[in-house]
């Protein structure tokens, strides 16, 4: 949840490849690293020293949240899933 909350606040994120959140790379909403101090240090330095990039990453993160992770979007996805289930059951 912390990753989603940070993106909702337009903050750039740094996560490890173990987080299994491919949208971060696809939408360029943060930096994905291997879990080691060297990569973490490099990622944090990049974010701290690049105000313009940091802002762009944060904006893209907020856009991803608005596209996929608001309660309205989640409700729409759930409704579509239930409709698909009902269609499958009706055809049996």
Tell whether the model's pLDDT for residue 92 goes beyond 90: no
Q: What is the DSSP string of 23-87?
A: HHHHTT-EEEE-SSHHHHHHHHHHHHH-HHHHHHHHHHHHHHHHHHSSHHHHHHHHHHHHHHHHH
Residue 10 structure tokens: 């337009």
Tell whether the model's pLDDT for residue 71 goes beyond 90: yes
pLDDT in tens, 14-29: 999 999 999 999 999 9
Q: How many domains does the chain fold into?
A: 1
Domain range for residue 68? 2-90
First to last CA, the chain: 38
Per-residue confidence (pLDDT) for residue 60, from 0 to 100? 97
Instruction: Please list, in sequence order, all residues whose beta carbon lies within 8 angstroms of the beta carbon of residue 33, skipping any fewer than 6 positions away.
Output: 14, 15, 16, 17, 39, 40, 42, 43
């Amino acid at each position: 949840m912390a990753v989603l909350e940070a993106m909702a606040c337009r903050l750039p994120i740094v996560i490890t490849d173990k987080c299994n959140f491919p949208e971060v790379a696809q939408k360029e909403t943060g930096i994905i690293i291997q879990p080691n101090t060297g990569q973490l240090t490099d990622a944090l330095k990049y974010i701290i020293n690049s105000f313009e990039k940091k802002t762009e990453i944060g904006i893209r993160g907020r856009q991803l949240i608005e596209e996929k992770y608001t309660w309205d979007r989640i409700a729409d996805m759930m409704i579509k899933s239930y409709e698909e289930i009902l269609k499958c059951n009706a055809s049996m």
